[in-house]
Structure 1
């Protein structure tokens, strides 16, 4: 019999499991997906949002008619907006400027006020999203800052609901649980329950973007929203969320962005499950885990949110090509042959000297290069989000020749605007269109990272 509820809040949780029969074909161990995208707000964050609000009400931190304030990649804010609508709270949600636009549209549809602010900044920067939202919470009378990253009611929601549901749905047969780590609340609370009820036999795997620091990456930007840990190179003091217990995952599977995004698209096209990119990360990790297991094992992977929030991103062929995640191109051939013939990427530290930049540019195709934020190590290359400008050999040579600049001067004053970017799967015609009249070349992206520069002369005249 179909359940009947007095309000949408009573329907939070209780999501089904689906076996991934096509993506898991040929694997001895079955893989089941916990479909959190079927929640009222479209994500696993409904659970944490309700748990945090109820705890704040109980503790007297959130009064009737008060204001809920939160910083989020979108999903927690949506959960809070739904609860605010039901319980009569004003809701102000800070969303990172790199989050999908659909999330802001959904938040506004629920009546939330949306504040956009950057997150690809040092944590100490006053303009960082978290600092903007903290100031708002301090300035607004009667405001309560939900603070999902450090709120114990976040993991407690999963200790009380998600873990028990998985154990009951699998009749205690689950042997491996796979989930992404964002605030850490989902994996921490669920892991605690499953390990305790199983006597420690359930293995918990964190699914992490390859460059995220949780799994051992360099902290450089990545393209999967809502999970992982970005670390700006200028951040003075990094910190882990208090909602995350580092002993919750027994191991990590680190998944490149392309594998995550393509797996999310496969979920829709092969399993009929329209889920977001972090679900792609989790499923890619779960399939890796399952390949190492046998028929007595059972893998449960948590799918955090709906793909409806990412129709303009991972589920858009144009967006995927634009950022270099799809190689195929409509019409004329893609840029791969030109890129392969252009020589290795030369990138220049935006904070170096004029003389050092001039030396670096000697091997740059066309004498132009992207200027990037400094980072001590770049095992995954230069993220497109770290490019802050461009450097021209011609401009530097002229400045040195006429005495406008000396070799030991900072490069900053001679930086040009960032080169336009195109994905490796786009056509030469599209690259020429991106050039316009004023740019000397384009920066070609592969998997969201700078792979090379194509000077104007290499693109032909169309």
Structure 2
């Protein structure tokens, strides 16, 4: 009989799959190492087992102990599998930019999940690096994994992933392309492959908001490069010990939008349902296409499953909110079509300024049309109210008609975006759209900006 003693025995030996439509522009054989076939649906299963086993071997992790790690979700899943099989408790510290699916999955497999803010410095006590370390210091019989600096991460890929790729390509691989986060995959695979053939090129995929590319090219850790980004699983605002820059031939950066768009393309064009970093890798491959020749064998690694991004990259509303959907927006109706059924919030001339302020707060809006029995007669926005308050601290108890400005311009559904945009001025922050049924909708500067591709 052919079976594994437990689920950990199914990790590794993931397939190589030829890519076709999504890499049609590339004149080379492109193969995807699809790591979703691991039981935790990501490449991180490999190093999770290795890090735990090495910690057990040298006494850092003792029976009945608690494993603590800062993770973007996938390492946590791998550690959860190991913890279940080996009888450990697990605390995962995760940043709030990670998908809800990742958090739900971690809780479902028994992990305690602690969520930290994304947009803080790594040294900030609220960061998921700092919280992980603090929890490890405070929790008896615990072990802080620290996948970023734990070199068992790299070793797992040197011992497993690299040899698999070499064997599967019959040693014909010429390029390895992979997203870089902790650095374990690119360094472990890169080290093994270059030992087999020093001419193999190792390319890292980075994201805007990360320090890797500039540091590799200049040796400068530029804090100006660090800012919040959406892409998950790649890029860093630190330099993990697992990133061996000497093994990497180059980096290319991919935008959040391109990573999201190409994540969906992989599913639609190759029937491979993979995650956000895979989309970044494919766009990165296309950016590097001049480096590849017809006889080359290019292997790109797909880190994780698309199931962890159903509420994000695979959700039209999420994509649309960020301007990631390439929709043809030419008329006023295109801007409002996704929320055309929402009620227009108005205030009446005889209502108090305090009523307008409360409505702005409740509905999180910045401008409100003013109406009387005859229709639209004015408008108020937060700038008007602020100026009125500076001039008169008692303005909240005055009627709206005493502080209102001119009414917003009104356009038809078919009015072009160009014509709508011309109606926005220093004095005017919104435009009303006549829906043709006696109702109106509002377009703000924010709506116009959101429609820009």
Could you say which TM-score interval applies, normalised by the shorter chain? 0.7 to 0.9
Q: CA deviation at 1:37?
A: 1.3
Which residue number corresponds to residue 229 of structure 2? 222
Which residue number corresponds to residue 44 of structure 2? 45
Cα distance in structure 2, aligned partners of 1:441 and 1:140: 50
Q: CA deviation at 1:326?
A: 0.9
Cα distance in structure 2, aligned partners of 1:27 and 1:327: 23
Q: CA deviation at 1:94?
A: 0.9
Q: CA deviation at 1:397?
A: 4.3
Gaps of 5+ in 2: 215-223, 337-364, 368-380, 394-416, 418-429, 435-441
Cα distance in structure 2, aligned partners of 1:103 and 1:207: 22
Q: CA deviation at 1:26?
A: 5.3
Q: CA deviation at 1:395?
A: 5.8
Q: CA deviation at 1:126?
A: 1.5
Cα distance in structure 2, aligned partners of 1:367 and 1:399: 16
Which residue number corresponds to residue 18 of structure 1? 17
CA deviation profile, 1:157-197 (whole Å, cap 9, x unmatched): 11111111111110111101000110111111111111111
Q: CA deviation at 1:131?
A: 1.4
Q: TM-score, normalised by structure 1?
A: 0.72
Which residue number corresponds to residue 123 of structure 1? 122
CA deviation profile, 1:205-252 (whole Å, cap 9, x unmatched): 11111332212382222211011124xxxxxxxx41111112232111
Cα distance in structure 2, aligned partners of 1:204 and 1:445: 42
Say if 2:116 is the partner of 1:113: no
Which residue number corresponds to residue 74 of structure 1? 73
Q: CA deviation at 1:284?
A: 1.4
Say if 2:436 is the partner of 1:443: no
Corresponding residue SS for 2:213: coil
Q: CA deviation at 1:444?
A: 4.7
| Residues 446 and 273 (structure 1), Cα distance of their counterparts in 2 relative to 1, 3 Å cut | farther
Matches within 5 A, 1:351-362: none
Which residue number corresponds to residue 301 of structure 2? 302
Corresponding residue SS for 1:190: helix
1:276–1:309 Cα contact (<8 Å) kept: yes
Which residue number corresponds to residue 322 of structure 1? 321
2:323–2:452 Cα contact (<8 Å) kept: no
Cα distance in structure 2, aligned partners of 1:66 and 1:204: 38
2:16–2:168 Cα contact (<8 Å) kept: yes
Cα distance in structure 1, aligned partners of 2:183 and 2:93: 19
Corresponding residue SS for 1:335: helix
Matches within 5 A, 1:85-104: 85-104=84-103
* Greater helix proportion: 2
Matches within 5 A, 1:397-408: 397=387
1:325–1:446 Cα contact (<8 Å) kept: no
Matches within 5 A, 1:340-419: 393-394=383-384, 397=387
Which residue number corresponds to residue 250 of structure 1? 249
1:444–1:451 Cα contact (<8 Å) kept: no
Which residue number corresponds to residue 208 of structure 1? 206
2:93–2:114 Cα contact (<8 Å) kept: yes
Which residue number corresponds to residue 420 of structure 1? none
Cα distance in structure 2, aligned partners of 1:445 and 1:191: 46
Gaps of 5+ in 1: 231-238, 337-365, 369-390, 404-423, 433-438, 453-462
| Residues 272 and 445 (structure 1), Cα distance of their counterparts in 2 relative to 1, 3 Å cut | farther
2:29–2:295 Cα contact (<8 Å) kept: no
Corresponding residue SS for 1:308: helix
2:51–2:152 Cα contact (<8 Å) kept: yes
Corresponding residue SS for 1:193: helix
| Residues 402 and 332 (structure 1), Cα distance of their counterparts in 2 relative to 1, 3 Å cut | closer
Cα distance in structure 2, aligned partners of 1:145 and 1:130: 11
Q: CA deviation at 1:400?
A: 6.1
Give the greater-gyration-radius structure (CA). 2
Q: TM-score, normalised by structure 2?
A: 0.73
